[in-house]
Amino acid sequence: TKIIRDRQNILPLKLRKDGKILHVILYNDWEVDNSSAEEVNAKLEQFTNVEVLKNPHDFALMEKAKSGEYDYIVCSVIERGSYAIQTARLCGLAGRSMMSGWMKFKTPVVFIDYFNCNFSYTFNAVADTMINTYGFTKYTADAIIDRLTK
């Protein structure tokens, strides 16, 4: 688990018990296992209040991002490669969400890519703070929390 970039110098996050994080989980429709992001969510809840949005419509996400009610947005991206294909791309709602510009409002955003290191290249222009896990093991959620908070 590695911090790929932090252009806005928002890491480590300054989490407060009375604060609030929006945890957005983006995934392609065929992804059935989001347990990795849910495990990270459970660990985040130990530090602050967390609201979860799974594959939200881009307009709903835009409204949440510009509302100013969150200290941070953590965006978990579940994007596995397909059989015989080296890369994966976000499609449908998840893909449209990445094109709407919600991550450029005032609320600081951290992207966590779990399975596909190409996300950081594909969305280089809009993902200013990026953590890549290169997969998920029983230690990954703790490593993500360490990268977010220490």
- The torsion region of residue 92 among left (phi > 0), alpha (psi -120 to 50) and beta comes to left
Of 8-22, 33-47, 50-64, 80-94, which gets the smallest average pLDDT? 80-94
Residue 127: CA count within 13 A, CB half-sphere: 25
- State the pTM of this model: 0.92
Residue type, 95: G
Given a cut of 90, whether residue 32 has pLDDT beyond it is no
Provide CB contacts within 8 A for 138, sequence distance 6+.
none
Residue 57 pLDDT: 85
